[in-house]
Structure 1
């Protein structure tokens, strides 16, 4: 589903976001000059291969790691450089759902203890704890008697539902979902995605949804940000980007999808090799070493973001006609 959010003040806005780990010469360039917004009630997808910087951006958005440069604004407030002692209000308004439902829950605690920790951290529901915890389980489709069980008694999908309930315990405005279905069986993935869609509609949640799978992003997200080696390659309404991709990397991701059209342009099927090391990213366009359209100019110039209309932008020196001719 795509919708216009241009007139709505964003709940999350990152501008020029940069994150580097370590020191030169062994410095990892994890995120480089990334900018996007998430409007209230909107779901924005971050998509790309492993090593593209998706999870780092999610952690930066919640200030679980500190940015090297750029700004992070949450509901208009610059939280980029807030000290740890002042981040508690942000942590209540923005929560994370983790990728691994087996590792993200404390195996020594019952479900009541897991949810109780979240409530205690923010001083919530002290007078009606059990009732509130039962409400949270009901939100994610689990019966209240599960409160007395331990994580090992549940399936992966049920554990992820408990993780979602924990994230919702503090009534956040924004959820960062870091590959929340990638560790689950395909049939269970669909159930959890349907749950997230339902929660988004019922609670008006905004969401930053991280995935390597464009098919999943198409199901859930209003807009998508395509990332490669820490940089934005393309951004726009999900339906528009999926139907008319402007960047060769986006085309390659779409071609890799199980529903890819066998008659799709050949350019989309020419992506070979591995993503380069973020310790030594290519000069110019970071995608050029794997791009079938790369020319001499791509080695020296970092492509600026170009407008394709209606909020659709892409970072490539080649235009759409050249891509069609190369196909």
Structure 2
């Protein structure tokens, strides 16, 4: 296997949880440079976010392991943690909660672009182009972050993650506050941007429409493990597990189109 084929992130037999109780178990997952996006779908509380948190080292596995380019994520040394955080970007539902609300969008994105250049991973994009990648117009650049609506903040968070030209992008319910009519366009542009960069993408969501638009392969999470995997249309057509049937019943119009 060449270095370019080595998964950026790999979970093998992953089990993880909180306070001694495993929320997920037996999780095998790979994210590889240039590979198509992968989706994880499941009901609220199924453990989707726990998998993402384990992938970035915020939750320590109780069994199995998670590796970043072959190195155990929870053992990444201080010297390499900055590189890890630049290469593996997590965008959660809360968006950019840790950014000063008085900062302008162009300042926030501009700083990220500058830091990427200094780190030797120049994005090559301008602030306006980053905004376009998440379906925001250039007029948002001078806006203060605190004046943005929830969906706009979520899209700026995506643009901020793209600014570092990450090797892997982990999206945990990234568009919950975005107008449903806009989600298709946002995910289309995001898909084009990540494909152009060769960024590996993991999309964690309960939104069937979103995962169908972006991910050729999906895993259904239920009872703490993957109970079905494959193209969404095939998974829904062979809905033997109650959790798969539940997802289809919760979004009947979407499920009917994807079958």
Comparing 246-255 with 216-225, which one deviates more in the overlay? 246-255
- In the TM superposition, residue 134 of structure 1 has moved relative to its aligned partner by 4.2
Closer, same or farther in 2 for the Cα pair 1:203/1:50, shift >3 Å? Answer: same
Unaligned runs of 5+ in 2: none
Does the alignment pair 1:62 with 2:56?
A: yes
User: Are 2:116 and 2:165, in contact at CA under 8 Å, matched by a contact in 1?
Assistant: no
Unmatched 5+ stretches in structure 1: 1-7, 265-327
SS of the residue aligned with 1:13? strand
> Does the 8 Å CA contact 1:119/1:125 hold for their aligned counterparts?
no
Question: How big is the shift at 1:83?
Answer: 3.9
Name 1:12's counterpart in structure 2: 9
Partner Cα separation in structure 2 for residue 74 and residue 125 of structure 1 = 18
Q: 1:252 aligns with which of 246, 250, 257?
A: 246
Backbone CA RMSD of aligned residues: 3.0
Query: Kindly tell me: are residues 121 and 64 of structure 1, through their superposed partners in 2, closer, same or farther at Cα, counting changes over 3 Å?
Result: farther
Other-structure match for 1:87? 81
Does the 8 A contact of 1:124 with 1:170 survive in 2? no
Secondary structure of the corresponding residue to residue 87 of structure 1: helix
Q: 3-state SS of the aligned residue for 2:53?
A: helix
Worse-superposed segment, 67-76 or 78-87: 78-87
Q: Distance in 2 between matches of 1:216 and 1:132?
A: 27
Aligned partner of residue 221 in structure 2, secondary structure: strand
Q: Is residue 125–residue 132 contact of structure 1 (8 Å, CA) maintained in 2?
A: no
Q: Is contact 2:135–2:185 with CA below 8 Å preserved after alignment?
A: no
Change (3 A) 1:252 1:145: closer
1-structure distance, mates of 2:252, 2:148: 30
Structure showing greater Rg:
1
Q: Using the alignment, how far apart are the partners of 1:98 and 1:104 within structure 2?
A: 12
Check if 1:35 corresponds to 2:32.
no
Cα distance in 1, alignment partners of residues 61 and 81 from structure 2: 14
SS of residue in 1 equivalent to 2:141: helix
CA contact (8 A) 2:9 2:66 kept: yes
Structure of higher RCO (CA pairs closer than 8 Å, 6+ residues apart): 2
Task: Give the corresponding residue for 1:112.
Answer: 106
What TM-score comes out, normalization by structure 1 length?
0.66
Structure number with higher helix proportion = 2
2-structure distance, mates of 1:120, 1:58: 27
1:36 Cα deviation after fit:
1.7
Identify the residue that residue 153 of structure 2 maps to in structure 1.
159
Contact in 2 for aligned 1:157/1:188 (Cα 8 Å)? no
Partner of residue 194, structure 1: 188
Question: Which of 208, 217, 222 in structure 2 is aligned with 1:214?
Answer: 208
Q: Secondary structure at the match of 1:148?
A: coil
Q: CA deviation at 1:132?
A: 4.3
Give the Cα–Cα distance (whole angstroms) in 2 for the partners of residues 144 and 182 of structure 1: 22
SS in 2 for 1:225: strand
TM-score by length of 2: 0.82
- Of 95-104 and 171-180, deviating more is 95-104
1:163 positional shift: 1.0
Give the secondary structure class of the aligned counterpart of 2:21.
strand
Kept in 1, the 8 Å contact 2:38–2:201? The answer is yes
